[in-house]
Amino acid sequence: MAGASDVISVEIDDREIRAGLRALEDRLGDLRPVFRDIGEALLNSTRERFNTQTAPDGSPWAPLSPDYKKRKKKHSDLILTLNGYLRGTLNYRATRDELRVGTPMIYGAAHQFGRPDINLPDRPFLGLSDDDTEMILDTLESWLLA
């Protein structure tokens, strides 16, 4: 049968799939709800770092210098805590397409990244731990599948 061919036609009812994709597109258009959940959890884990005095990777913060420890009147055993302002100003901002976690205190950057010019070691308190990353992925997955 040279030149003969059969045509097979398959029709798929994809209305439900298209509706699901539209709903997903609508949800992805504004990520504020899921970013708020993630932001709250990240604030909690960042605040906990002030209790454990550790960086996001779990390493301990550099100890206070002996000279500073002698001069420090309040909380002499706590690193990054004099009056609680730094920890107390931690916040997040969720927009449609972005989540920021941080502090408005300008000296927060000096502690996060260090200031070699004044012998201030870095003591990172902002960032993602492995647990934070897992929480974010789990939260996003739950939110997308809801």
Tens-digit pLDDT profile for residues 101-127: 999 999 999 999 999 999 999 999 999
Instruction: Judge whether 79 and 123 are in contact, CB under 8 Å.
Output: yes
pLDDT for the residue 135: 95
Q: Which has more pLDDT, 145 or 92?
A: 92
Confidence check: pLDDT of 26 > 70: yes
Residue scoring higher pLDDT (139 or 10): 139
Beta bridge partners of 100: 93
Share of the chain above pLDDT 70, in %: 90
**pTM as predicted:** 0.81
Q: C-alpha distances in angstroms, 38 versus 105, 128, 132? A: 22, 11, 9
Give the model confidence (pLDDT) of 70-100 as tens digits: 888 887 788 989 888 999 999 999 998 899 9
| Whether the predicted pLDDT of 53 surpasses 70 | yes
* pLDDT value of position 24: 73
What percentage of the chain has pLDDT greater than the value 90?
59
The CB-based long-range contact list for 83-89 (8 Å cut-off, 24+ gap) reads: 86/50, 86/111, 86/125, 87/47, 87/50
